[in-house]
Amino acid sequence: MQNALPFFLLLLLTHIGFAQAPQKFNYQGIARNAEGNPLASKQLHLKLSILPTADAKDAEYEETQLVTTNEFGLYTLQIGNGKSTLGSMKDVSWETGNKYIKVAIDPQGGTQFKEIGTTQLLSVPYAIYADKAGVANETIHGTSGNGTRAG
């Protein structure tokens, strides 16, 4: 019985060591008609594309999702949680620079999508924190962020 506890801890630490970030992120929008009135309590079909530049013709990833708006026309979803029509979220080359989200909508819930806009993705607090992780890792292993020996 004495050996059971160290084995359990090793198993637990191994499981934690392989944890990965989810391949999705939150997105919200407001659907409006041509007059600017919200499409309240309506089921819509969306096509969401991740682009390498704002004017890119080819997406790195694309998916569709059915959503239902609330009384204000607001919808909330997770990009990466829809039906992939091109590529995979894990294959998006996030390291190459800015990314953009293009949104297309069919207000009838079908597949006659109309593009409604493209916007740049911005950093979230986790990404800003992760940017500092490389500097912290170097300091732990004996050098500071500028390459000199620490301590």
3-state secondary structure 62-115: EEEEEEECCCCCEEEEEECCCEEEECCHHHCCHHHCCCEEEEEEECCCCCCCEE
Nearest 5°: phi and psi at 126? -60, -40
The DSSP element (H or E) to which 117 belongs, if any, is strand 114-120
Confidence of residue 12 (pLDDT cuts 50, 70, 90): very low
The encoded tokens of residue 114 equal 């109309």
Tokens standing for residue 119 = 């916007």
Model pTM greater than 0.85?
Answer: no
Helix (H) / strand (E) element for 26: namely strand 25-30
The pLDDT, as a whole number, for residue 9 is 38
At 143, is the pLDDT very low, low, confident or very high (cuts 50, 70, 90)? low
Residue 61 pLDDT class (50, 70, 90 cuts)? very high
d(CA 126, CA 17): 18
Backbone angles phi, psi at 118, to 5 degrees: -130, 135
At 65-79, the pLDDT tens digits run 999 999 999 999 999
What pLDDT, on a 0 to 100 scale, did the predictor assign at position 98? 92
pLDDT digits (tens, 9 = 90+) for 99-130: 999 999 999 999 999 999 999 998 776 777 77
